[in-house]
Structure 1
């Protein structure tokens, strides 16, 4: 399953050995380094500074709980952008500060003098509940399937089988790579999928004499991984952040609902990106011969895993028929695989826990923004109503794209999805679910630099592509996709009766 991050995804067991040192990619695990960079030091000072300001200056038209939440929000913005502290650390810090400063019984209770504010205050349990939000359980199930697929070799075997028909023309091979990478990324970590595909393809790439074609083949993999994660709620953390934030506001988006909204867009971008890559990088005469053999694990445990994964995905995709929430279904593989001893405690330790905590921080941030009236203040302080529904969607989408190119996709979604929901609920003519989904998807389209997303960093580390080529492809795909997402998709969704 992904992270944008598609964005912030912690390191996986499998790695592609780099020929040169990659630019550091944002990591949800946020493993601390011995020294802080200049940007991190600046972020630390600036973050603490903006956090303190609302405590000393009265913010017009904002009650004290909202001022405190503004402090927390500004701190999160600076820390997530600069990674002054690890991304996951910022997420849990958000929850702690909300409990200490704005929950019932907060330090120097800001609601003591106003019964209306006291009534609106949430108990500490409401903020801690973000750590066990149903969407976290959904993502946990996705992680179990992704790690099990790696453990039993399912990912490599699927790639080997599906790539066979695409041997021969380099353009045909790139199409196969992108379709398979996109499919795997819809249910697995984008980082793990990218590493898997490079492990399969890297030996073949060395035989491609045309340097530009080799770069195009290499770039097709991270691009497809980033885009493919958009297709399902478990594909990447921004999707889970949007689903969780909407659920907290009483709007349920099922697994199949998300796929219907995002799936066609994902396929369209993948196909269009393939044409673009072929036009820029792959001459017609270049050929690539694939000789790949699948070696299926047929042990009883592997067979149980295959059946469990298939059952889980089937239940996710048929939620409207059986009525079992996709969040509940997400716990099915966790229980079954552990009870049947297909996976064990060591496998549990290897799951991407930092990403789960990062998503929790975003859910808690949205809860606090809504509970303190900060959402209404943010909406009222800017003339959003003059932009109209399309204008608001476009502005928020392009902000998401811009943020996601220079910071973790998950962190960008954590900041922008709660704000977008608040905007939609406060302005007429804007569908809340559509705006949240659109912003989350836009946060997965930032992929123009090696630091934009871990799949990009892996591709760059192989030495098969340059920053210039990555930027050209990433900027074109990101801008065109976001334009389509903001200006065309909401109308298409409405015409199809999906909203």
Structure 2
């Protein structure tokens, strides 16, 4: 009886988590209700509830992101008016502008053309094919969503992989409809013989294959050799896509959601600081992305391919000819056929490509802080506008608006009309329309970002609490910001690596949408992803640590503690001289 009740209760576990989490945590705000910690406790109560809901997904992620609109006013943390404004911050529209351009790229298949062009360039030899897939995926995920990139790349990889394995004789005999030699010879006499031969095949014993078969020995797929190698190759070529998508999104500010969260958090917590714009982020994220991508490529080869040719593809014994990029095999022909089906570069593709390049250039040259003019203003095209008014978000929305106006066909009226054009003179549909945006735009991610910004805004009052509360924040290390201020370290030193590390989730299918997409195709097992992803997690964290401690120091000025942040050691000097000793010896106050 009891097990049945337990099973029935477990079937409603989401409902139980949804109802019990607020009840079990309610002593937290009640206990501190009439103390100086009341707002802190109330805010922590809301944050923990959202963390549990986000982790267990008892509600859709975007719905959980709306909870601050209800909880913060009810708990006395912030008014609803102050909370709601966080859902339409400047950084939300930076993300929207980037997404609108990405939707246009997807609509006209420009991303597929770029991916196939890269694969044609590198060839179809497995290790170079893997590099091509990773390069194309990482580049596309810098500009369009990681999920859309993976969803587009996996079917291409499946088609290429199928032809590659068939040509190399590494696919499953059942998939090729190839009969085994014993079935062709008709040698099975009874069920005992069949079972015995199956056991021998599982153990790798193939001595029972008869000599009178017409199938050449080097073309017979064996479970212990070519089929296993083909299975490993397939896993490697699929995993490289989701891993490259996760890594590629870290290079740009609009590449993935966590990158935008930090920008709004910096703006909220440090209003007097310089902030983080597209160029500032790209200068750090792109080199780190390249290092992580190279590491992932090397590791995936060691895990799933023959890595004897890894260093330089030097022709040596056991490696001769393996590194040649064969352009005549079936896999290469599949890539060429898919590319040829796209036809020549169409007019709308040219328009989208032009706007994409224009957007990137405008982002890069908006505010060149490394070039100072006579009046100490940074060089860039925004020099001709009011200082600080034209942001990356305004730039992205400006380019996106043009896509809703620009025609998808060349003009055919008056002097622009070609002599052979018999079409009636009428306006062509625009490159982008709202129906397409409504279908492809991930609005839930925009709300999710707003929820993160609302949380950051809700806890900013910790910055202005009494010395006693500040000391409590130091001891408990509530988040990276207060940890950094508690030890007088530049906030970027902890915030930027923590943000990028969120994308280095390679171990489980549920960790990121790209992982889930690749896992859903059935070839990958959880143990494969966990075994490969664990070491890759560690390796990418080492790359991140190297980056922030080398070129990250001069890039962000991490050797000094900025004047726009609060050093907790200095903030609590009235509590006693001992607290001042928290300032590290290698850090100076700016």
State the TM bucket, normalised to the shorter chain: 0.7 to 0.9
Matched ranges for 1:231-270 at <5 A: 231-249=251-269, 250=271, 251=273, 252-270=275-293
Match of 1:315 among 351, 362, 373: 362
Match for residue 399 of structure 2? 333
Quick one: distance in 1 between partners of 2:124 and 2:14? Answer: 48
Task: Please give the secondary structure, in 2, of the residue aligned with 1:451.
Answer: coil
TM-score (structure 2 length as normaliser): 0.65
Q: How much does 1:473 deviate?
A: 1.6
Contact 1:145 1:309 in 2 (8 A): yes
1:178 corresponds to 2:134: yes
1:423 corresponds to 2:483: yes
Any idea what the Cα deviations from partners look like across 1:377-431, whole Å, max 9, x if unmatched? Answer: 886446659xxxxxx8xxxxxxxxxxxxxxxxxxxxxxx9xx323333x324321
Quick one: distance in 1 between partners of 2:11 and 2:102? Answer: 33
Matched ranges for 1:298-377 at <5 A: 300-319=347-366, 320=368, 321-323=380-382, 324-340=390-406, 341-350=430-439, 351-371=441-461
Any idea what the Cα deviations from partners look like across 1:129-171, whole Å, max 9, x if unmatched? Answer: 1111111111001111221111001010001111112113211
Could you list the runs of 5+ residues in structure 1 that have no partner in the other structure?
Answer: 1-34, 104-121, 386-391, 393-415
Contact 1:66 1:374 in 2 (8 A): no
Quick one: distance in 1 between partners of 2:552 and 2:116? Answer: 39
Task: Please give the secondary structure, in 1, of the residue aligned with 2:131.
Answer: helix
Match for residue 70 of structure 2? 96
1:193 corresponds to 2:149: yes
After TM superposition, the structure 1 stretch with the greater mean CA deviation from structure 2, 215-224 or 312-321, is 312-321
Matched ranges for 1:83-162 at <5 A: 83-102=57-76, 123-162=79-118
Q: How much does 1:67 deviate?
A: 2.2
Quick one: distance in 1 between partners of 2:262 and 2:96? Answer: 16
Q: How much does 1:435 deviate?
A: 1.8
Q: Taking structure 1 as reference, are residues 374 and 66 closer, same or farther at Cα in structure 2, changes over 3 Å only?
A: farther
Any idea what the Cα deviations from partners look like across 1:257-306, whole Å, max 9, x if unmatched? Answer: 10111111110010011111111111254977323225257554443322
Q: How much does 1:496 deviate?
A: 3.6
Match for residue 572 of structure 2? none
Contact 1:183 1:228 in 2 (8 A): yes
Contact 1:245 1:363 in 2 (8 A): yes
Contact 2:68 2:83 in 1 (8 A): no
Any idea what the Cα deviations from partners look like across 1:14-69, whole Å, max 9, x if unmatched? Answer: xxxxxxxxxxxxxxxxxxxxx99655334313421244222322279643222221
Contact 2:403 2:432 in 1 (8 A): yes
Bigger helix fraction: 1
Match of 2:503 among 444, 449, 469: 444
Match of 1:227 among 241, 247, 250: 247
Contact 1:138 1:330 in 2 (8 A): yes
Contact 2:142 2:250 in 1 (8 A): yes
Match of 2:547 among 484, 489, 492: 489
Match of 1:462 among 521, 543, 567: 521
Quick one: distance in 2 between partners of 1:191 and 1:366? Answer: 26
Match for residue 63 of structure 1? 37
Q: Taking structure 1 as reference, are residues 226 and 379 closer, same or farther at Cα in structure 2, changes over 3 Å only?
A: farther
Any idea what the Cα deviations from partners look like across 1:85-112, whole Å, max 9, x if unmatched? Answer: 1111111112332234335xxxxxxxxx
Q: How much does 1:123 deviate?
A: 5.0
Contact 2:118 2:136 in 1 (8 A): yes
Contact 1:39 1:82 in 2 (8 A): no
Match of 1:167 among 123, 126, 145: 123
Matched ranges for 1:205-216 at <5 A: 205-207=161-163, 208=165, 209=170, 210-216=230-236
Q: Taking structure 1 as reference, are residues 446 and 375 closer, same or farther at Cα in structure 2, changes over 3 Å only?
A: farther
Task: Please give the secondary structure, in 2, of the residue aligned with 1:276.
Answer: helix
Task: Please give the secondary structure, in 2, of the residue aligned with 1:354.
Answer: helix
Contact 2:473 2:482 in 1 (8 A): no
Between the two proteins, the alignment pairs up a number of residues equal to 414
Contact 1:70 1:374 in 2 (8 A): no
> RMSD across aligned C-alpha pairs, in angstroms?
2.7
Any idea what the Cα deviations from partners look like across 1:453-497, whole Å, max 9, x if unmatched? Answer: 1111111111232222111121111122224424x3322135444
Match for residue 332 of structure 2? 290
Q: Taking structure 1 as reference, are residues 474 and 62 closer, same or farther at Cα in structure 2, changes over 3 Å only?
A: farther
